[in-house]
Structure 1
Amino acid sequence: MAEAILGDHDQYSCSICLDLLNDPVTIPCGHSYCTSCINECWNTKEHKGTYKCPQCRHAFNSKPPLNRNTILAEIMEKLRLGTKLHVSEAAQSLAGPGEIACDFCAGEVFKAVKSCLECRASYCETHVHPHYNVPALKKHKLVKATVMPICSKHDKLLEVYCRTDQVCVCMHCLMDDHKGHDTVPSTTERDEKQMKLADNQTKVKQTIQAKEKDLQKMKMDIASHSDSAKEAVKNSTRVFTELAKFIEKRSTEVIGKIKAQEKADLDQGAKLQEKLKGEITELKKREGVLETLLQTDDNIHFLQNYETVSSSSGSNGFQSHSFKPCCSYTDVSKLVCELKERLETVFNQEINETFRKDIYSDESLVVDSPGSACWKGIPSEMEPVTDDDECGGSSTLTFNIKIGDKVYVKPSVKTPKYLWGSVNHKSIGTVINVQGETVTVDFPEQEG
């Protein structure tokens, strides 16, 4: 049990003397200290009349009661016993490079575990014990093994902070270089700066929490956006499949109607042709009769048959016939082509515009024109041209670039982001193609 406790040695140290708790007491905030350490802390001039926990800085209106922690006291006794049993083992830890060495070891130098601010020396587990047992040494301030903060000029311990020069100094420095400066004990300055650092730490934690919330929200937004894209792909696939089936069905219907109408028209044409052939045959017969009568030499025969032949020889009894189909297949082809163009317009302009509308404000455009190929511009540098503009007016319209628009570089633009090339302020071009983020503009004066 003692060995398990020994493993948590620092956990049972007094934060004031940094030694194992001696006669431990617990104050209302829950922290424990040596009875003598907390009393001495609260009785110093700096803390006279104020009662704060040295660790959490919790302030009390009056001096709180110091309740002896019996369980903790028993643990300390076991820990001290365990420490004594393991001194010889711990003392075998030699000081390595960069570690604090014991100032009292002869021969093999062992690693220091404590440093005394009064003696200005560091001690291993073996040589530190007099500070626990000798009454005069028990009053010394022990800290974790550290390099002694010594004044390079006076060879004294640095224990005062000069606020004027913002450096740590010794007591002798107060009499010469730092005489008359604003100075305080290092512990006082540490307490104030520690409170500021604690506030900064709180703010940093709050900022981290806010950033983590932003990150979480961003992850949710990205996931939602991804789900939306997947749903759009799913719906688009379904709609395009239905559209393809619809177009195929309508195509079959239209082609069937064209063929049916063609058959009806051809049947009608065939009937008309047969009728015309019959009329032509009848007329040829009449022509033969007329030819025979005209060729006769018998005047009496000619005169007796004239009225009969004359009344039946005309063509007034035959109607005029012409082929008139019910519809024009040219009109059907035109309507199909118009449908194709409408679909292309929807895909090339409206759908692509949906993808481009959020990037026009930041992205650049590549404008190609004869004589100034790959001229680059950004939408904010371009303006639409109206009839007034061609007469010298100025446009303030907000627009989305589309095929057929006349555009030019705004007069307010001194130097385009991607320079002029062969284009200038007077160059007026017509948008002849919009594909993705590329706009092709025809500048007539730049042709060739």
Structure 2
Amino acid sequence: MAARSSTRQRGRPRGKRIAGSVATLALASSLLAACGGDGGKPTLNWYVNPDGVDTFKTYAEECSTDQYDIAVQQLPSSATDQRTQLARRLAAEDSSTDLMNLDPVFVAEFANAGWLQKIPDELATEITDGGDYLQGAVDTVTWDDGVYAIPLWANTQVLWYRKSLAEAAGLDMSQPVTWDQVIEAASSQGGTVGVQANRYEAYVVWINAMMQGAGGAIVTDTEAGRDAKVELDSDAGREAASIIQKLADSEAAQADLTVSNEGTSLGQMFPEDGPGEFMVNWTFVYANYKGLIGAPGGPADEQEFEDLGWARYPATVEGEASKPPIGGIDIGLGAYSEHPEWALEAGQCITSTDAQVDLAVNDGLMPSTNSAYDEVAASGEFPEDLLDLYRTSVDEGGPRPKSPFYSQISSAVQSVWHSPTSVTPDSTPQESADFLTEVLAGRSLL
């Protein structure tokens, strides 16, 4: 999923900037824009999430042609609200929805509903078999033996931490660490553990990653639709619940655990007093802190910034490889667009190597292709070992369930597993499995 941080500092894109008048027009009514106003050339509407908007605006201008303009329309902040707005438009066969930024979990749902153009065979083969796209990114755009979106950036989570905190706790970060070890290390030194445990999509990301790290899954056989097999009441589900319970009951739990999100724990890494934290979060974190050196919420100086460490996502079970979450953004092409060929052309332009590199350098949103990663590495903006960690985490990570009913799956899990302070391995996995089974069968409402 897309990372959010109101404190993120952006660099200057390499491309030209959009003038204020063009940016204002880009946010005008989508229906008016789709008609080209009063008879001018057509405008393709590109619905974007709030991350990297300045870079999106740059590429909307640069990818416009003599035949069409591209207008940026901003979606709400949360992935759930983004899905709702897009689904309403597409269910109404809205011809003004030409391109859209999609959280990977919504590709299967939208494709299954017939709301997305299927990517033509030549480009689909380039994505799946060309060797440039990271495998984790490829997996997010495929459904039912077809490709239904173009990867833009491929997000993942890593474990961010203060090196001094880990050293004081005697935790060897050169080796894989478990959730239990991280919680115990933070507790022993008066530090904290930052997670996303509010009642929203990122909480499911955490639960899913821990279950996959224990060899399980929330659901399996997802192509069976409502008949998918619910696997929450399992050893993997109980392992995940045990970790949540352990953190909630520990001194390492942050005060706002029950409403925590991607942004709330950022300020806990470099507090004025205290040893800092261990935190699971997305790739934007490095660029965020680098841009905040000497500013509120960031490291006090370069020396303190050097105390920021990173490691692979914590393991659920000692000795078993973790499954880092996979997120990011894919570009979907609206099935009802009046200009499908132009939308495809525009989609390829806004997912170009240059665009991916600018999103990484300006916004900390990492590429979906190896060629773009190579350019990001050559820029010197990020440590090479961090970029290697990102790539490995995407390729070896775990996606959320790929299902046309993912929205119901996610909401059902959230409703039972929240609040994290009420989670127990004895009851939560079974209760949530029973409820999700009823929801999928249509016998219970969310």
Report the TM range for the smaller structure's normalisation: under 0.3
Larger radius of gyration: 1
Instruction: Using structure 1 for the length normalisation, give the TM-score.
Output: 0.18
Larger RCO: 1 or 2 (CA < 8 Å, sep 6+):
2
Instruction: Using structure 2 for the length normalisation, give the TM-score.
Output: 0.18
